Amino acid sequence: MDALRNANARGVTIQILADPEKEYPLELKSLGWFRKWEKSGLQHSKILIVDRKKVFLGSGNFTWYGLENDLNGYVSFDLFDSEIENFYSFLEEKFVSLNIPPFEFYISPAKGRLIQNLILREVDHSQSEIKYLIFDHFDSVLTSRLALADLKGIKVKGIYDSPVDTEGKFLANVFRNPSSEIAGDGNEETISLDSFGKGGLLHHKTMILDDQVLISGSYNFSISARDNNREILFKTKDPYLIDSYSKEWERIRWNAIPYKPIPFHVEEVSNQVFFGYSEDSISVEQTICRSDNSKEESFYLESGKSFFTSILEYDFSPTEFCKEVSDFSSSSSGFSGKKTNHPVQTRRFRENGILRSKKGNLMFISSERISEDFLPDFERKPVYLFMPIFYSIQSGNLLFPNSLEEFNNPNSIFLYQRGNGPIRIPWNTSENSISVVPNSTEGILFFEYDSLFLAFCFHEYSKKE
């Protein structure tokens, strides 16, 4: 507060965006431009920008306790002149993500599902070890993917602010890998010279994957962070930052208290999960059913690949045998739509799906599931959006902009519709144009080349009389 008061006395312009649910001293409000976030949820991002150049952000609140007692992580960097305008546009949510090397930045709640999907994808791509420090964990879909990673033999090591959250306790009880572990921070309020904090709460929101990828910021592993709160998350592959955060993880682990799993003395009943109706003769909405309804449990239907992936959660209560496929939980991930129009109600979406338990066990896989080798390689190649000069859904005639004429001969063309695909479709070329008929009124066309994809969205336009 003294530093802000002195800066104000020097004539420095001060702008503060504050949380709507908190009360602030009148002196702070009088220092300059002061506004509370006007949308739903918390203003939970923690960022300080000095002279439109120096950036300081991370997981800790700008309070005495947050800065002096809690365990937090921060990054500090300078913006180049060419980056300033884009960074401020990102903070104003004009961009859903921003790349300023060595960082990728993401913001919620405008695109909170983008953050959830990014974390899920990184967990699914991990090869050897996942380490994380977390204050709040209330995303059961993420829990299911961490359990699946452990089932694959990956070491999953999570440290929670004590007491350990319910999702952390679940993981501790289902881990198979003897190297996986869940712990509470076991932290005392002691003075330390380390740069990350001096005890108190474990307030981190950090994940380190294979010592190659670091994810951190203000985003807790929760649905509130995804859907309601204003959060900033960053991802980086910078070796120095990964090493610094890894040392912090090890320092906290030294004092952490492992959570001891609850031993199971009763042999679990084998549960069969299946679709309630034959796919060839569905007269009502399809259902997901289980043979044993004696307990509360969840199942996860995964469909799609890369950024097309959806993971739908189905929560069964005791005595409940079946659920309609549109009755999935709000924690489900993906961009495919709401319950009222979700493609899970289409046969193709389900036939390309895999159903797993929360522990990661495979419950169902369709014999008609599309081979992974058939799908385009969205993981390896970047995707660039473009606007064609002309495109007709009926004739299929497509004219590329002059700057992209060299891309008139793609290797393959794929069609993606809401929740379905991408599927390979035929096309013809002639001079400077391509003819590709989608047999659909809306979707995305992807043009695959040796090192990249080009893509554009289309939607049929009909003029009402």
What tens digit of pLDDT does each residue of 89-115 get? 988 888 878 999 999 999 988 889 999
Q: Do 356 and 378 reside in the same domain of the chain?
A: no
Is 280 a residue whose pLDDT tops 90? no
Residue 21 falls inside a structural domain: no
Average pLDDT over residues 112-136: 95
Across the range 122-132, mean pLDDT stands at: 97
Highest mean pLDDT among 60-64, 240-244, 350-354, 407-411: 240-244
Domain's final residue, options 353, 369, 385 = 369
Do 106 and 188 lie in a common domain? yes
Q: pLDDT at position 266, please?
A: 45
Residue 174 near residue 151 (C-beta atoms within 8 A): no
Quick one: 147 and 223 in the same domain?
A: yes
- Asked whether residue 44 is assigned to any structural domain, the reply reads no
Least confident interval from 44-48, 219-223, 326-330, 437-441: 44-48
> Which of 17-21, 64-68, 438-442 is the most confident on average?
438-442
Mean pLDDT for the stretch of residues 127-140: 96
Residues 391 and 340 reside in one and the same domain: no
Does residue 39 form part of some domain?
no
Say how many C-beta atoms besides its own lie within 10 A of residue 11's C-beta: 6
Shared domain for 133 and 210, answered yes or no, is yes
What b/e string do you get for 181-190 counting C-beta neighbours within 10 Å, with b at 16 or more?
bbbbbebeee
- Cα 113 to chain centroid distance, Å, stands at 6
In this structure, the answer to whether residues 292 and 364 fall within a common structural domain is yes
Q: Is 307 helix (H, G, I), strand (E, B) or coil?
A: helix
Q: What confidence category does residue 462 fall into, taking pLDDT thresholds of 50, 70 and 90?
A: low
Residue 367: per-residue pLDDT: 66
Q: What is the mean pLDDT of residues 107-133?
A: 93
Query: pLDDT for 57-71, tens place per residue?
Result: 998 877 777 777 788
Percent of the chain with pLDDT over 90: 47
DSSP letters for 48-69: EEETTTEEEEES--SSHHHHHT
- Does residue 207 lie within any of the structural domains? yes
Q: How confident is the model at residue 189 (pLDDT cuts 50, 70, 90)?
A: low
User: Are 289 and 241 found together in one domain?
Assistant: no
Residue closest to 415 by CA, chosen among 302, 308, 311, 303:
308
Cβ atoms of residues 49 and 57 within 8 Å:
no
Does residue 232 have a pLDDT over 70?
yes
Does 252 lie in the same domain as 293?
no
Q: What is the pLDDT, as a whole number, of residue 192? A: 54
Question: For the CA atoms of 184, 185, 186, 190, what is the dihedral angle to 10 degrees?
Answer: -170
- The pLDDT assigned to 465 comes to 43
pTM: 0.84
Window from 26-30, 344-348, 426-430 with minimum mean pLDDT? 26-30
Whether residue 463 has pLDDT greater than 80: no
Q: Is residue 148 part of a domain?
A: yes
- CATH at 109: 3.30.870.10
Over the chain, what is the mean pLDDT?
85
Mean pLDDT, rounded, for 232-256: 95
With left for phi above 0 and alpha for psi between -120 and 50, is residue 153 left, alpha or beta? left
**296 and 246 within one domain:** no
pLDDT attached to residue 325: 92
Q: What is the pLDDT of residue 340?
A: 75
Pair (358, 397) in one structural domain = no
**Which residues lie across from 434 on neighbouring strands?**
398, 429
141-160, pLDDT tens digit by residue?
Answer: 999 999 999 999 999 999 99
31-67 pLDDT tens trace: 765 766 666 666 778 888 888 889 999 988 777 777 7
Is 90 domain-assigned?
Answer: no
Same domain, 113 and 254: yes
- Count of domains observed in the chain: 3
Residue bearing the bigger pLDDT, 231 or 65: 231
More confident residue, 296 or 8: 296
Q: Final residue of a domain: which of 231, 258, 285?
A: 258
What range does the domain containing 217 cover?
A: 97-258
Burial class (CB in 10 A: 0-12, 13-18, 19+), 412: middle
Q: Whole-angstrom Cα distance, residue 399 to residue 404? A: 10
CB 56 within 8 A of CB 187: no
Confirm whether 348 is domain-assigned. Answer: yes
Q: Which of 10-14, 121-125, 402-406 has the highest mean pLDDT?
A: 121-125
Residue 207 pLDDT exceeds 50: yes
Lowest mean pLDDT among 61-75, 208-222, 346-360, 443-457: 61-75
* pLDDT digit string, tens, across residues 299-332: 999 987 777 788 999 999 999 999 999 999 999 9
Domain boundary among 344, 369, 394: 369
Percent of the chain with pLDDT strictly greater than 70: 86
**pLDDT per residue as tens digits for the range 381-414:** 888 999 999 999 888 999 888 888 788 789 999 9
* More reliable by pLDDT, 173 or 369: 173
Q: Establish if 245 belongs to a structural domain.
A: yes
Domain shared by 406 and 287, yes or no: no
